[in-house]
Amino acid sequence: MVKHKCTRWAVDLGSWSPTLQQLAQALAVIQPEERVRLLKFHFLDDYLSSLVGRLLMRKFVSTNSGVKYEDVKFARDIRGKPYWLQAEHETHSQQQLAFNVSHQGRFVVFAGITAQVAVEEDENITASSTTRFGVGVDVMKIEYSGGRSLAEFFRIMRNKFAENEWRYIKRSHHNEMDQLQAFMRHWCLKEAYVKELGVGVTIDLQKICFTVDVTRALAVGGLPLTGTILRCNDMPMHDWYFEEHLLHPKYCAAIAFKNCKPIVKSFELLSIDDLLIETEDAKSVAILDTCRNVLKKQRKTW
């Protein structure tokens, strides 16, 4: 028997103006190659969003494995998807982890699954013999800011949706805002699904058809909608389970679970200080110099 527990975290960066000390504490615990990767971002907001995503992954692994926060290491698979680089003695643990992170606008979201194999019930069960489980998460801002009209945007994006999806998005009683929210809900679900697969939106999205939960309206801070149904190539996908969340009136999020169905909960909102620890490395000249240069980056407006 395998018991799955889900961690759902969200960080609102909208009101965060990082101090030199905070940024140094954050950079000190991530790997050198991650610091290099972050430098590609032109805007401070994108830099901070990606940095916070890395901190959320570390907090999750450290909390659930007992490994020191600063000692958690990650690598990337051939698809570029991060995974926990376990030490040899940790690979035999009965506790297995899966996680995913996403960010857009002011929000960074994280979803993680902890699977505990109950070996006491059957000594023949091992972590390696259980069905592979996974999780994907995505967050979308419910707005359209493109140069074209919304109608033209919908025309261009039409071939990314199944007929049933598009009928729901363009329902006659939906005004323009309702259509936009319905569009973003479906897109968020598709992104969460393909992120768990690790393939990005390179597959035929028209073959992925979601029937969204319409039993009640999404509510900020409320429990997620859980009645979403997925069909791929017109075949029901019974090994997938979905949650839809509303983090803010303008931000929706979706979580895709493969081969697991955790207890339903809302996202827990974390502060930046929840992700930081004090280390001697944070006082190094090199890291402080990097932080000063980062803080000179231009900010976006929300």
Q: For residue 195, what are the CA distances in angstroms to 134, 149, 167, 222, 272?
A: 10, 29, 25, 24, 25
Report whether pLDDT(204) > 90. Answer: no
Report whether pLDDT(131) > 50. Answer: yes
Give percent of the chain above pLDDT 70: 90
Look up the CATH number of domain 138-258. Answer: 3.90.470.20
Angle (deg, nearest 10), helices 20-29 and 44-65? 50
User: In the structure, what pLDDT confidence band is assigned to residue 87 with cuts at 50, 70 and 90?
Assistant: confident
pLDDT at 231: 96
CATH fold of the domain at 1-133+261-302:
Ribosomal Protein L22; Chain A (3.90.470)
User: In the structure, what pLDDT confidence band is assigned to residue 202 with cuts at 50, 70 and 90?
Assistant: low
The residue ranges of every structural domain in the chain are 1-133+261-302, 138-258
Tell me the DSSP string of 40-89.
T-SBHHHHHHHHHHHHHHHHHHHHHH---GGG--EEE-TTS-EEE---GG
Residue 92 per-residue DSSP state: T
Same fold, 1-133+261-302 and 138-258: yes
Beta strand 268-270 pairing with 2-12 = parallel
Tokens 């995503």 appear where?
A: 53
Report whether pLDDT(243) > 60. Answer: yes
